[in-house]
Chain A
């Protein structure tokens, strides 16, 4: 079945450091790919998405490129801020028979940014 593997955390960085969180997936067909972020005590917020190969999703300085040849969707940010401290989830979805979509998530990577 479909699955998502993302790098184990936690990740601790200093402010203004470069961030990479690796994400690879296994899926049949052509899934859509997402990064969600979860701040303490809150639900998930959609950070960015890509719906086809070579698409680049971007938002708030974060970027990720849909690489079908390597089945990857790595999250990057050039200069992190303390406010970026959160848990980041990579996810995929496919439209199943009947039109339903369900998200399959990675385990999450906790990021802490120190001033």
Chain B
């Protein structure tokens, strides 16, 4: 069974631009969560989607948004990029009723 895939793997953007990251979950997994990883703040929860609905949201500004499609694929968007948004963005999928979340390889975003 294929794992969680994320595209693109690497991205360089300029301050003020916006960016969209994509995540395809493991087949049969309907929950998708997003996390931001930085050296200073560590791993922080962004949001979680299930059946195209946002079920939970972390403490991030409104510039961070996401959505989920009917095939469970998810995208996250960051608008008006700031230097501090440079991070590894990780997506994780989970099968309903099971405890484990499975992570993709991440998208490394660099904002210059």
Contacts and interface: CB of A to CB of B under 8 A. Distances in A.
Interface string A44-77: 1110010100000000000000000000000000
A100 interface: yes
A42 B48 CA distance: 21
Contacts of A101: 31, 48, 94, 99, 101
Contacts, number: 62
A43 B90 contact: yes
Contacts of B99: 32, 34, 49, 51, 93, 101
Greatest chain A CB density within 10 A among B35, B92, B101, B105 is at B101
A106 B105 CA distance: 19
Secondary structure type dominating chain A contacts:
strand
A108 B103 contact: no
Interface stretch (B14-22, B50-58, B66-74): B50-58
A89 interface: yes
> Would you call the interface of chain B mostly helix, strand, loop, or mixed?
strand
Contact of A102 (B6, B48, B104, B105): B48
B11 to A, nearest CB: 15
Contacts of B94: 101
A88 interface: no
A43 B104 contact: yes
Interface in B46-102: 48, 50, 55-56, 58, 90, 92, 94, 96, 99-102
Interface of A: 32, 34, 36, 42-46, 49, 51, 89, 91, 93, 96, 98-108
16 contacts: A42-B105, A43-B4, A46-B103, A89-B43, A91-B43, A96-B56, A98-B55, A100-B50, A100-B55, A101-B31, A102-B48, A103-B45, A103-B101, A105-B43, A106-B42, A108-B42
Interface of B: 4, 6, 31, 33, 35, 42-43, 45, 48, 50, 55-56, 58, 90, 92, 94, 96, 99-106
